[in-house]
């Protein structure tokens, strides 16, 4: 076989130009990140902020109209300057149109995102099965209430009839059956996704009518790869139909199962206090940062790091203790259940190492930049990969493969490695002082409690406040950072504009972290940033105006919260009737496209910032906007300007208020069921 040779430099290369560097102020709104970017540049270490300046994105790829699905391409179909007049004759070598290419690319992104969430869910389900079989000491069924709550949705009975008497079923038996039924959702040969029926009945019927109820999770993802292979599905509408099936299989399947099973294993989150930003790292402590998405290992790291003998061990090495911190959604997982502080967001991950105080960074899956290894090389930081599917090629990276059967031993090994590394720190420690208090850990259950009270724990109070106009509507603002836009700026501007206009915000992922870094996740933020109606509700109830609901897979909590709003009555019969809108102001990941699409087909008007890979195929773009609104009640939209972005969402919320007949703010009246039915009339 012909060997591909490495290029050999023949003559002395011309002197390289000075690398272009990012302007720290233009790169991020976060002062701690700015400080660390300056430091990295002084040390000659490049970060994503500099690389984004040096390398521009491909102008054709960004429009979604580059196809490389076979070796006759890549076929690139740029939109002519000034747009297309008359017939669009652009086609690839095989004849694929811009619409077909954009739709194929779009649903391949859905497949990437859905598989990431769902494979995460599968790993959790496997650990759950081990726990249910009692094969591991480290994991136990922690939240029995949650187990009993989800079991019926998987067709698992929680009671049993014996001698004519109805009795509670044995919890271990229920757990085992739940584990088996859950595992089945990934690859069962027939039937349909069981959780699809957790959606409001009207929505489920809509999915049924359009033939998009998923069969099982894996099948919908595999079918996307088949249909987008050269020479298979060549109708953008039919391609998107499959994208819809896979996205539902993500939001109402893989992600929802991940959230539920994690809650049963590790506990359903309830609000707790913590802190966010790089200032959570401590110079005199061993700093261990966990980063990625799966809480299965990080839960063990939290348990081990809290052990008195481990703290003593850290002290024996000259540290005052162990400081854990998180990045990305592993951060959100251990924040919401244990109050472990958040170090920073996705885009600033390299900067945690630039502090010189990161003794170990432990990564699992998703959103981990490969350049972490290069940055770690410049410091004493041990970079530890832990997942068999996520290794790094650089030789300074240590791989400690995590096995749930030896979970505590693995976690102990990792924590000890961090502690032992404390002594190897150089003199170059520089931790920014910025950090903010945050209240996180909201979920479907806690919103019910906080806004409903102990005696009337329900969504009635939330609905009442929407109906009487104190709360104008609900926004789900989620997603990543993107190096093509100023770090955290759009997140914060969109959220501030929404709460200023009395829209309560539910957040997950890196938007949640950005809001925490800005101090928006405290009840006190309401008086400063909210309109009078939302400020009053927050003050009375004692909640922040931005409710942090967890990690990326926890967007399923937002779907279920919206379903509870429908059930509580007075705001229509389907999610698309509620004054609700979705947003991902700084998205970058394929997972965001999958999330965006399951929001849309669940009935949510969803606006993305930055860009959408559809602009090169206007007919396809209109399909996922206008046609989808007719089909599912939700639609895609794109608006990079954060203030306009927020106002598109507010306009949609107002449109829904008008359709419901609640567009005139009214004095608060506690409504009974008859009043709500009259409104729905
Ligand atoms: Fe080009 Fe068609 Fe091959 Fe895509 S599938 S690369 S459009 S020839
Ligand atoms: S971590 S997917 S950058 S939100 Fe979930 Fe943040 Fe986006 Fe990763």
Q: Which candidate, 84, 79, 73, places its Cα nearest to that of 60?
A: 79
CA triple 568-570-573, angle to 5 deg: 80
Dihedral pair phi/psi, residue 318, rounded to 5°: 95, 0
Q: Which candidate, 392, 366, 372, 262, places its Cα nearest to that of 591?
A: 366
Mean pLDDT of the chain: 94
Is the shortest distance between the CB of 513 and ligand 2 below 6 Å? no
Residue 290 has pLDDT above 80, yes or no: yes
User: What's the confidence (pLDDT) of residue 667?
Assistant: 44
Contact of 560 with 520, CB cutoff 8 Å: no
Residue 420 has pLDDT above 60, yes or no: yes
CA dist list (Å): 523 to 23, 445, 462, 493: 34, 19, 17, 18
Tokens of 121: 């869910």
Q: From ligand 1's centre to the CA of 117, what distance in Å?
A: 29
User: What's the confidence (pLDDT) of residue 669?
Assistant: 45
CA dist list (Å): 414 to 2, 297, 363, 389: 43, 10, 11, 18
- Specify the ligand 1 atom closest to the Cα of 230: 5
pLDDT per residue as tens digits for the range 210-265? 999 999 999 999 999 999 999 999 999 999 999 999 999 999 999 999 999 999 99
Q: Please give the CATH topology (third level) of the domain spanning 442-668.
A: Rossmann fold (3.40.50)
Contact of 580 with 604, CB cutoff 8 Å: yes
pLDDT band at residue 8, thresholds of 50, 70 and 90? low
User: What's the confidence (pLDDT) of residue 1?
Assistant: 53
**Residues with beta carbon inside 6 Å of ligand 1?**
67-70, 72-75, 92-94, 96, 101, 230
Contact of 213 with 196, CB cutoff 8 Å: yes
Choose between 494 and 681: higher pLDDT: 494
Q: From ligand 1's centre to the CA of 101, what distance in Å?
A: 8
Task: Please give the Cα distance from 303 to 313 (Å, whole number).
Answer: 15
- DSSP structure string for 64-108: T-EE-SSTT--EE-PPPTT---S----B-TT--BHHHHHHHHHHH
Beta bridge pairs of residue 387? 390
pLDDT band at residue 84, thresholds of 50, 70 and 90? confident
Q: From ligand 2's centre to the CA of 300, what distance in Å?
A: 22
Task: Identify the residue whose C-alpha is closest to ligand 1 atom 4.
Answer: 67
What number of CA atoms fall less than 13 Å from residue 368's CA on the CB side? 29
User: What's the confidence (pLDDT) of residue 504?
Assistant: 97
7 by DSSP, 3-state: which? coil
pLDDT band at residue 675, thresholds of 50, 70 and 90? low
Task: Please give the Cα distance from 548 to 616 (Å, whole number).
Answer: 35
Is the shortest distance between the CB of 552 and ligand 2 below 6 Å? yes
Give yes or no on whether 278-424 and 442-668 have one common fold: yes
pLDDT per residue as tens digits for the range 582-630? 999 999 999 999 999 999 999 999 999 999 999 999 999 999 999 999 9
Is the shortest distance between the CB of 295 and ligand 2 below 6 Å? no
Q: From ligand 2's centre to the CA of 270, what distance in Å?
A: 22
- Only one residue has tokens 């970058």, namely 588
Tokens of 502: 């009395």
Q: What is the mean pLDDT of residues 413-436?
A: 95
Residue 631 has pLDDT above 90, yes or no: yes
- Specify the ligand 2 atom closest to the Cα of 346: 3
- Specify the ligand 1 atom closest to the Cα of 92: 7
Residues 6+ apart with CB under 8 A from 6: none
Strands (E) located in 495-567: 503-507, 546-548
Q: From ligand 1's centre to the CA of 236, what distance in Å?
A: 15
Give the 3-state DSSP-derived string for 392-443, with helices as H, strands as E and coil as C.
CCCCCEEECCCCHHHHHHHHHHHHHHHHHHHHHCCCCCCCCCCCEEEEECCC
Does domain 98-266 match CATH 1.20.1270.30?
Answer: yes
Q: What is the mean pLDDT of residues 354-382?
A: 97
pLDDT per residue as tens digits for the range 475-500? 999 999 999 999 999 999 999 999 99
Dihedral pair phi/psi, residue 647, rounded to 5°: -75, -25
User: What's the confidence (pLDDT) of residue 391?
Assistant: 97
pLDDT per residue as tens digits for the range 11-36? 555 666 677 899 999 999 999 999 99
Report the percentage of the chain scoring pLDDT > 70: 94
Secondary structure tally for the chain: helices H, strands E: 28, 18
Which of 400-414, 434-448, 592-606, 667-681 has the highest average model confidence (pLDDT)?
592-606
- Only one residue has tokens 């406040």, namely 465
So where are the chain's domains?
98-266, 278-424, 442-668
Contact of 330 with 371, CB cutoff 8 Å: no
Dihedral pair phi/psi, residue 275, rounded to 5°: -140, 165
Among 93-97, 299-303, 557-561, 672-676, the minimum mean pLDDT is found in: 672-676
206 by DSSP, 3-state: which? helix
Residue 4 has pLDDT above 70, yes or no: no
Task: Please give the Cα distance from 342 to 331 (Å, whole number).
Answer: 6
CA dist list (Å): 527 to 325, 441, 523, 544, 547: 29, 21, 8, 10, 15
Residues 6+ apart with CB under 8 A from 563: 198, 199, 200, 575
User: What's the confidence (pLDDT) of residue 673?
Assistant: 54
pLDDT per residue as tens digits for the range 56-77? 999 999 999 999 999 999 999 9
Q: From ligand 1's centre to the CA of 92, what distance in Å?
A: 5
Task: Please give the Cα distance from 469 to 536 (Å, whole number).
Answer: 12
Residues 6+ apart with CB under 8 A from 196: 204, 207, 213, 214, 248, 252, 253
- Specify the ligand 1 atom closest to the Cα of 75: 1
Dihedral pair phi/psi, residue 615, rounded to 5°: -65, -25
Q: Which candidate, 249, 261, 262, places its Cα nearest to that of 187?
A: 249
Q: Which CATH class is domain 278-424?
A: alpha beta
Spacing of C-alpha 384 from chain mean position: 23
292 by DSSP, 3-state: which? strand
Residues 6+ apart with CB under 8 A from 89: none
């Amino acid at each position: 076989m012909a060997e591909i040779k490495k290029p050999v430099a023949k003559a002395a290369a011309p002197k390289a130009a000075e690398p272009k560097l990012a302007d720290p102020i233009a790169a991020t709104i976060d002062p701690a990140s700015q400080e660390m970017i300056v430091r990295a540049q002084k040390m000659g270490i490049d970060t994503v902020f500099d690389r984004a300046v040096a390398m521009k994105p491909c102008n054709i790829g960004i429009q979604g109209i580059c196809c490389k699905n076979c070796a006759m391409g890549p076929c690139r179909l740029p939109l002519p300057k000034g747009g297309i007049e008359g017939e669009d004759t652009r086609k690839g070598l095989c004849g694929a149109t811009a619409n077909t290419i954009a739709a194929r690319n779009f649903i391949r992104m859905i497949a990437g995102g859905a598989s990431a969430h769902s494979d995460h869910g599968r790993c959790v389900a496997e650990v759950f099965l081990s726990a249910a079989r009692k094969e591991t000491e480290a994991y136990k069924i922690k939240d029995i209430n949650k187990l009993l709550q989800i079991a019926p949705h998987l067709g698992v009975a929680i009671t049993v009839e014996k001698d004519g008497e109805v009795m509670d079923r044995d919890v271990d038996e229920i757990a085992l059956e739940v584990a088996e039924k859950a595992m089945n959702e990934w690859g069962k040969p027939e039937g349909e996704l069981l959780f699809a029926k957790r959606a409001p009945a009207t929505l489920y019927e809509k999915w049924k009518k359009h033939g998009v109820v998923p069969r099982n999770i894996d099948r919908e993802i595999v079918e996307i790869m088949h249909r987008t292979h050269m020479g298979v599905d060549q109708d953008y509408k039919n391609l998107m139909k499959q994208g819809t099936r896979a996205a539902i299989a993500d939001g109402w399947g893989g992600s929802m199962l991940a959230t539920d099973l994690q809650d049963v294993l590790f506990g359903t989150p309830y609000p707790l206090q913590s802190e966010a930003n790089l200032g959570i790292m401590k110079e005199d402590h061993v700093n261990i940062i966990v980063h990625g998405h799966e809480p299965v290992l990080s839960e063990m790291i939290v348990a081990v790091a809290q052990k008195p003998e481990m703290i003593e061990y850290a002290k024996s090495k000259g540290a005052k203790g162990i400081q854990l911190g998180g990045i990305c959604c592993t951060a959100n997982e251990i924040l919401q259940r244990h109050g472990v502080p958040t170090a920073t967001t996705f885009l600033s991950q390299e900067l945690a190492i630039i502090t010189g105080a990161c003794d170990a960074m432990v990564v699992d899956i998703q959103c981990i930049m490969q350049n972490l290894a290069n940055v770690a090389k410049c410091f004493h930081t041990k970079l530890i990969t832990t997942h068999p599917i996520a290794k790094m090629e650089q030789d300074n990276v240590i791989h400690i493969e995590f096995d749930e059967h030896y979970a505590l031993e693995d976690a102990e090994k990792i924590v000890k490695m961090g502690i032992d590394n404390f002594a190897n720190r150089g003199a170059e420690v520089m931790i920014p002082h910025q950090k903010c208090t945050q209240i996180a850990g909201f979920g479907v259950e806690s919103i019910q409690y906080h806004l409903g009270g102990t005696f009337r724990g329900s969504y009635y109070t939330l609905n009442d406040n929407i109906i009487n106009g104190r709360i104008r509507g609900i926004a789900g603002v989620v997603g990543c950072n993107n190096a093509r836009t100023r770090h955290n700026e759009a997140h914060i501007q969109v959220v501030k504009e929404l709460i200023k206009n009395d829209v309560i915000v539910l957040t997950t992922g890196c938007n949640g972290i950005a809001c925490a870094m800005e101090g928006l996740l405290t009840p006190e933020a309401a008086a400063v940033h909210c309109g009078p109606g939302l400020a009053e509700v927050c003050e009375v109830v004692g909640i922040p105006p931005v409710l942090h609901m967890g990690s990326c897979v926890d967007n399923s909590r937002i779907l279920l919260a919206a379903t509870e709003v429908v059930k509580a009555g007075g705001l229509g019969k389907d999610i698309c009737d509620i004054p609700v809108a979705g947003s991902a102001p700084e998205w970058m990941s394929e997972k965001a496209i999958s999330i965006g699409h399951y929001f849309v087909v669940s009935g949510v008007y969803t606006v993305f910032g930055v860009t959408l890979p559809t602009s090169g195929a206007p007919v396809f773009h209109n399909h996922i906007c206008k046609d989808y609104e007719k089909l599912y009640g939700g639609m895609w939209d794109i608006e990079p300007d954060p203030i306009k972005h927020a106002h598109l969402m507010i306009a949609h919320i107002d449109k829904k208020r008008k359709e419901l007949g609640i567009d005139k703010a009214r004095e608060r009246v506690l409504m009974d069921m008859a009043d709500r039915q009259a409104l729905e009339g």
